[in-house]
Amino acid sequence: MSIPQSGGGPIERPEQLAEYLEAGCKPPEHWRIGTEHEKFGYCRDTLKPLPYDGARSVKAMLEGLQQRFGWAPVLEGGNIIGLQKDGANVSLEPGGQLELSGAPLETIHQTCDEVNEHLREVREVADAIGVGFIGLGAAPVWRHEDMPMMPKGRYRLMTDYMDRVGTLGKTMMYRTCTVQVNLDFSSEADMVQKLRVALALQPVATALFANSPFIDGRPNGHKSWRSRVWRDLDAARTGMLPFVFEEGMGFQAYVDYALDVPMYFVYRDGRYIDALGQSFRDFLKGRLPALPGEVPTLSDWADHLTTIFPEARIKKFIEMRGADGGPWRRLCALPALWVGLTYDQRALDAAWDLAKDWDAETREALRVAASVDALDAKVGGIDMRSLARDVLAIAEEGLRARARPGAGGLIPDETHFLAALRDSVETGRVPADELLDKYHGEWGGDLDRIYAEYSY
């Protein structure tokens, strides 16, 4: 989750809210790729989650990365809660999940190099203190009461609020991990087309990356439990955003939606002020109960946008949010998939042609079916595996059209990063299928085996 935002000064006109989003528009030659991925840390001898403090801890990991590799610390209340370097940052999820929010890069080759370097650094520090890290969509064994809470004011407020608005919010916070990619748009029309494609085809990503078939030490009936969790978290700030597909969609329509999402907090002078359930519309009028008489800044607006969690969302860029965390190959495949679909106009048009006739019920049904059955999902006449094959073919053509070489020109484009997804479509098997086979087979129901076999 996000660190405090730096959006700008006081909001004096309502038009500034949409202008803030519109300021993200940039020409295609300036489009970049920002990849984020989360992972669970654990103590190798006990297989328990990392506490915040101690010899084997989240704090020890952050300090080790700082000392060995020159990351600058991010502090809150005197505690180290993140790191920054060269346009990237390392941050903490509520249960201690370690997240890399990568720098904005030009190619998937660079993204994959960044992933490799980050995991190498993490492994070096982790090995020295007896810690391991694993990429899964949900913690397979740990119960909620096993999870630590990181010393971030934002998370304390959210934890208290989650049970008021859903049943699985705390599970999302403390026991799930994702990989996502942040991508640019050139204009309002380009944003609208990309956001529609992102939302409509997000279930395909959920299916291809499904990697969370266990919770509380046993199978949960879903191949992506992480996706299931998001369906019962907080209806006011999650979902497939049907309004995006309506006539008149644009920056202002997204602003109107965001203004109706209840607030979590206001960040002032290094602390989070409780504004749970309050209205940003009231804030604009100087009537926020948490800060009576005060009007928001653009930084407050930027913070508020980070508390909205649909399957794809916009800030000054678009975030693709539907995929489970997973193994190394898929950390590079996720940005390759969406760059291929959206950074070439012919590919983007072809992707929209696949989904443009679906109604809101179909899109939601695909979302649900993907979480349960992954590539085996079927909705009406739509077969998920066949749909995924078509989506991958479009993405591959989009990457080929981009023609961004790697390895000093030896690799002509970025299409090879889709290889893991091609394998899944050809076999019909995603990571969750492999995990379930092992659980019911050679592991004999012993989920502790997952750590040795699937850690980075």
Q: What is the pLDDT of residues 317-370, one digit of tens each?
A: 999 999 999 999 999 999 999 999 999 999 999 999 999 999 999 999 999 999
Cα dist from 203 to 25, 230, 366, 378, whole Å: 26, 13, 6, 12
Model confidence at 404: pLDDT above 70 = yes
* Structure confidence by residue, pLDDT tens digits, 200-259: 999 999 999 999 999 999 999 999 999 999 999 999 999 999 999 999 999 999 999 999
Q: Is residue 233 part of a domain?
A: yes
Model confidence at 307: pLDDT above 80 = yes
Average the pLDDT over 51-55 and give the result: 97
Contact 309, 321 (CB under 8 A): yes
Confidence of residue 8 (pLDDT cuts 50, 70, 90): confident
Instruction: Say if pTM beats, i.e. exceeds, 0.85.
Output: yes
Question: What is the model's pLDDT at position 228?
Answer: 98
What is the spatial distance between Cα 86 and Cα 78, in angstroms, rounded to a whole number? 23
Sign of CA dihedral 348, 355, 316, 111: negative
What is the spatial distance between Cα 301 and Cα 8, in angstroms, rounded to a whole number? 9
Average the pLDDT over 97-120 and give the result: 98
Interior angle at CA 436, CA 435 and CA 442, nearest 5 = 80
Number of domains into which the chain is organized? 1
Question: What is the model's pLDDT at position 4?
Answer: 67
Residue 90 backbone phi and psi in degrees, to 5: -110, 130
* Residue range(s) defining the domain that contains residue 100: 15-454
Q: Is residue 9 part of a domain?
A: no
Q: Is residue 4 part of a domain?
A: no
Q: CATH no. for residue 48? A: 3.30.590.20
3-state secondary structure (DSSP) of residue 48: coil
* Structure confidence by residue, pLDDT tens digits, 271-280: 999 999 999 9
Q: Which of 337, 345, 322, 323 is nearest to 415 (CA)?
A: 337
Q: Is residue 6 part of a domain?
A: no
Class of residue 122 by CB neighbours under 10 A (exposed 0-12, middle 13-18, buried 19+)? buried
Sign of CA dihedral 155, 160, 162, 168: positive
Q: Which of 277, 312, 283, 303 is nearest to 295 (CA)?
A: 283
Above pLDDT 70, what percent of the chain? 98
Please, what's the b/e burial string for 210-238 (b: 16 or more CB within 10 A of its CB; e: otherwise)? bbbbbbeeebbebbbbbbbbbeebbeebb
Question: What is the model's pLDDT at position 6?
Answer: 64
Sign of CA dihedral 47, 51, 52, 57: negative
At 8, the amino acid letter reads G
Average the pLDDT over 273-293 and give the result: 97
Question: What is the model's pLDDT at position 3?
Answer: 61
Given the DSSP bridges, would you call strands 98-101 and 88-92 parallel, antiparallel or unpaired? antiparallel
Confidence of residue 9 (pLDDT cuts 50, 70, 90): confident
Q: Is residue 312 part of a domain?
A: yes
What is the spatial distance between Cα 10 and Cα 324, in angstroms, rounded to a whole number? 37
Q: Is residue 2 part of a domain?
A: no
Contact 49, 147 (CB under 8 A): yes
Sequence-separated (6 or more) residues with CB below 8 Å from residue 436: 213, 219, 223
Question: What is the model's pLDDT at position 5?
Answer: 67
Q: Is residue 227 part of a domain?
A: yes
117 dihedral zone (left: phi>0; alpha: psi -120 to 50; beta) = alpha
Average the pLDDT over 275-291 and give the result: 98
Question: What is the model's pLDDT at position 1?
Answer: 53
Q: Is residue 261 part of a domain?
A: yes
Question: What is the model's pLDDT at position 182?
Answer: 98
Question: What is the model's pLDDT at position 346?
Answer: 98
Q: Can you give the C-alpha Rg of the chain in angstroms?
A: 21
Q: For residue 282, what are its two tokens?
A: 């009231």
**Cα 289 to chain center, whole Å?**
31
Average the pLDDT over 292-315 and give the result: 97
| Per-chain mean pLDDT for the chain | 97
Confidence of residue 100 (pLDDT cuts 50, 70, 90): very high
What is the spatial distance between Cα 278 and Cα 228, in angstroms, rounded to a whole number? 27
Sequence-separated (6 or more) residues with CB below 8 Å from residue 21: 191, 251, 254, 255, 314, 315, 316
Given the DSSP bridges, would you call strands 309-310 and 238-239 parallel, antiparallel or unpaired? parallel
Write down the H helix ranges in 44-187.
58-69, 108-129, 153-165, 169-175
Model confidence at 165: pLDDT above 80 = yes
